[in-house]
Structure formats: structure tokens, C-alpha cells
Structure 1
Amino acid sequence: MQKAGLKVLVISDTHGLLRPEVLALVEQAGAVVHAGDVGKPEVLDALREAAPGELSVIRGNVDRVAPLNTLPETLLVELGGVWIYLIHDLNQLDLVPEVAGIRVVISGHTHQQRVAERGGVLYLNPGSVGPRRFRLPVTCAWLQLEAGQVRAEPVTLEV
């Protein structure tokens, strides 16, 4: 189903911590994507409760116990008329996105925010909104989808 002007909140690596600042953003989103390392089932419960739109979640390398271990390792979703591929660790990418008709690849794992475009594909790692790791900032991203166009807006949270 195509929606005009869809605003997607992209998060990753919560590692069991769902900050109030993130929940406030969830409430503003038309859809939410979590790129793995959820950490605790309660994080998914809170996201499902707060998210006004679609919630897409994949399993990360720390999601080893039930029910998190039943999450898919990868996921192909259509949001706002755009095909988006979710994979936790970009180094394990198992397809050629531009050949598969994928416009956006979302990953996590590194806890480092990154936005890059190659071959007409937007690669987005929102960073981590979970416990602070080393001196890395707490980050996520907005993904704006409109009329088949995509734009990533990195967000650094003040926590």
C-alpha cells in the first residue's frame, strides 16, 4: 500500500533499553523499523504499543532467546512504495540490492551512524539508541519516503 509522505523512524541496537526519547519519536512516526539487537521482549512490546503505524523488526546477533530468536534475520518490506531490505550486519549482505529492485538497505550492528548512497541504493545505519558504547553518541534516523523518493535524516539524541 503506497502512502504519500511516510515518515519512518529507524532504530537499532536497543540492547534491552528503550529510552523515553525514542518512544517520543515513535509516536511521531508513520512506521518504525528496528534493525536488530532488540535485547529484551519488553522493548518490542513497548514499540508495538507506542507505534501508530507499521513496525518491522529483525533479529540481531544478541537476540538469541525466545521470542526474539524467532524474529527474521532479514526482511524485505515495502513502505511508501519503496522496497527496503533490513539486515543487522551489513557485512552479511546476501544479495545485490540494485539488481533486486531494493532502494534502501538498513543495517545496525556497528553502533555507528552511517548514510551512504551507492548504485542508486541508500545504505542507512541509524547507529544505536541503546546503552552508550564507548564514546559513541546515541543515534537513530528518520527515513522520509515520498513519491518514490527517499531521504535519510540522522538524529543524535541528547540523553
Structure 2
Amino acid sequence: MALRVGLISDTHGVLHPAVARVFARVDHILHTGDIGSAAVLAELTRLAPVTAISGNADGPPLSRLPRARCVELGGIRILLVHHGFVHARPTAELAAGLRRYRPTVAVFGHSHVAFVTRRLGILLVNPGGGGRRRFRLPRSVAVLTIGVRDVRARVTVLDTRAAVRREMPAAPAPRTAGPDRGCRGRRTPSRRASSRARGGG
């Protein structure tokens, strides 16, 4: 049976009223920062368990959340960072997370511009802004569907009566053991081990 994960970002203290309808049947919710208020997380928790990171606009206590993290849901690794791209280039935090965790999916926000694409076999998702309107951009969220053979993301625009959806499948995902937990990154050799490998003392 497929696992459905709600993806949301950049609420800035306000949750669009249509979010509850779109996330009505999700199994988990991921928020990629600029939450704006603990009340937003409390409201989302009524719909499903929530995993969140902080964004650049989050103050205490939300700023104490991790700025990036990797979780395992449905047997795949999902990387969360707040700021994913600058001028079509990955940010340092996204690039570092991709190298460390090698996820199947990376989710981010910050720009309030929703899109779904794939690079080098990794599904990249920006769900857009799901709360306070910014820059006259349409507000949106996304739903990630983790199936047996593939992973798909669908963006739903919240500001239109007939919601516009954009969908792109990921490549078949390698399954990893242990659902619903944090990811283990690649180990970095200790200085002593590195020294021994070079023939040092």
C-alpha cells in the first residue's frame, strides 16, 4: 500500500484553509521551514505526524529546530532543507545534504515557487508557500506518494477553485531498511585513520 506524505513550506504563521482538505489522507507531513508560529505545527499535527525544520525567518522557539535533516519514510530517504536553489544552482546546504545522505527525494522551500523535477535520479520538490501570500505568488502544497515501484510528487495550487496539479514520477527508488527514522550519513574517516591510510603515525 502506498504511503502519502504531505509537503509544505513557508507558512509564515498562517495555514491556508485548503491545506486540511489536501492533507486529509496523508500519513505524515514534512514542513521545510519559515513556519512562523508553533500554532501552525499544532494544527498540522491534528492531521498527521509532523517532521519540521526551521527556516531563515523563524525565531525562537522554532529556530531551535534543525536547519536540515534527513528522514526515512516508506523505506526511502527524504532530505529536508529550507533553501534549495539560487539562480538554478543548488545551495551549499542542499549540496551537502545530497552528498551526505544520498536521498531519493529532496524537499525545500524559501522561494515560494512550486516545482517538481528530477536530477540524477533524485526527485526535487518545492511545494511552494502554504500560508501567508508573498510576492503575489499562488499558494500551494504538495503530496508525495511512495509506492512499491516508484515515488511521485504532486503540487496542488490552493488559490484556484479547480486546483491545478503538476506531477512527475521519480526513477524506481532503491529500498532502504528501517521505516520512519532518521538517515545515517556517509562516515567521515577520523584524522587518525586517515593518517594511517597515508602511512602516518
What is the CA-CA distance between 1:28 and the residue it aligns to?
A: 1.6
| TM-score (norm. length: structure 2) | 0.71
Q: Do the aligned residues in 2 keep the contact of 1:37 with 1:109 (CA within 8 Å)?
A: yes
Question: Which among 39, 56, 79 is matched to residue 61 of structure 1?
Answer: 56
Residue aligning to 2:77: 83
Residue aligning to 2:168: none
Segments of 5+ residues of structure 1 without an aligned counterpart are none
Q: Residue 148 and residue 79 in structure 1: after superposition, are their counterparts in 2 closer, same or farther (change >3 A)?
A: farther
| TM-score (norm. length: structure 1) | 0.89
CA distance in structure 2 between the partners assigned to 1:101 and 1:134 by the alignment: 33
1:1-159 alignment, distance < 5 Å: 4-51=1-48, 54-66=49-61, 68-90=62-84, 91=91, 92-95=93-96, 97=98, 100-147=101-148, 149-158=150-159
CA distance in structure 1 between the partners assigned to 2:117 and 2:73 by the alignment: 20
Q: Residue 98 and residue 119 in structure 1: after superposition, are their counterparts in 2 closer, same or farther (change >3 A)?
A: farther
Aligned-partner SS, 1:27: coil
Q: For residues 30-65 of structure 1, what are the alpha-carbon distances to aligned partners after superposition, in whole Å with 9 as ceiling and x for unaligned?
A: 1111111000111111111222xx311110111122
Deviates most, 21-30 or 120-129: 21-30
- Alignment root-mean-square deviation, CA: 1.7
Q: Do the aligned residues in 1 keep the contact of 2:41 with 2:50 (CA within 8 Å)?
A: no
Paired residue type of 1:56: T
Q: Residue 148 and residue 34 in structure 1: after superposition, are their counterparts in 2 closer, same or farther (change >3 A)?
A: farther
Q: Do the aligned residues in 1 keep the contact of 2:79 with 2:97 (CA within 8 Å)?
A: no
CA distance in structure 2 between the partners assigned to 1:7 and 1:36 by the alignment: 20
CA distance in structure 1 between the partners assigned to 2:41 and 2:60 by the alignment: 14
Matched pairs, number: 153
Paired residue type of 1:10: L
Q: Residue 103 and residue 65 in structure 1: after superposition, are their counterparts in 2 closer, same or farther (change >3 A)?
A: same
Deviates most, 19-28 or 77-86: 19-28
State, as a whole percentage, how many aligned pairs show the same letter: 39
Aligned-partner SS, 2:125: strand
Q: Do the aligned residues in 1 keep the contact of 2:140 with 2:159 (CA within 8 Å)?
A: no
Paired residue type of 2:24: E
Higher gyration radius (CA): 2
What is the CA-CA distance between 1:148 and the residue it aligns to?
A: 5.1
Paired residue type of 2:59: R
CA distance in structure 2 between the partners assigned to 1:69 and 1:13 by the alignment: 14
Structure showing greater relative contact order (alpha-carbon pairs closer than 8 Å, 6 or more residues apart): 1
Q: Do the aligned residues in 2 keep the contact of 1:22 with 1:129 (CA within 8 Å)?
A: yes
